[in-house]
Amino acid sequence: MRGTSPELTAMDLIVEDGSRITCVYFSQSEAVLRRAIALPWVSFCSDAASLAPEGVFLASSTHPRAYGSFARLLGRYVRDEGLIPLEEAIRKLSALPAENLRVERRGRLREGYFADVVAFDPRIIQDHATYVEPHRYATGMVHVFVNGTAVLADGEHTGATPGRVVRGPGWRGEVAAPAGG
């Protein structure tokens, strides 16, 4: 209809409506991911932002991991496929990353530590976000405490926002000795 190539037409349409362009790259196979999950030194995290599935956040897409990264690990790879025991997954989600990043008083339930606690139902924890519908909450999370304050109670957000910046030794350019050495 425009008399231009599909590539130029696509670029023109994006410029005309001010769209944000996003891409999804698949750089690992499921086999590689499963192998990595089982390695004892691999800790888990997500580089996705924490977004509410409402208001301005719905104006743009996001990666499904923003809503389902940890639930996918616990539901699919731990419960359903049995790649690692639940206790090992919890260590790789909490204590191990805190140790790797040298973040003090986090990652464990100990006196004097910040009370960051998650209670979930391992029988039903499940991710639901997809590339087509990325703004879908996971299910099975029951309670979440951040710095000792409930932010999720019986699966519902409490409105509390007690989070704070967490920094390891690298934020000032310091070099820390490896954990245990």
Q: Is residue 179 part of a domain?
A: no
pLDDT digit string (tens) for 44-61? 987 787 777 788 877 777
Q: Is residue 20 part of a domain?
A: yes
Averaged confidence pLDDT in the chain: 89
Q: Is residue 158 part of a domain?
A: yes
Q: Is residue 3 part of a domain?
A: no
Q: Is residue 2 part of a domain?
A: no
- Which residues are within 8 A (CB) of 75 and not within 5 positions of it... i.e. 6 or more apart? 125, 126, 127, 138, 140
If one counts the domains in the chain, the total is 1
> Which structural domain, as residue segments, surrounds residue 91?
10-172
pLDDT digit string (tens) for 67-118? 889 999 999 999 999 999 999 999 999 999 999 999 999 999 999 999 899 9
The pTM for the full model equals 0.80
Place of tokens 């951040």: 146
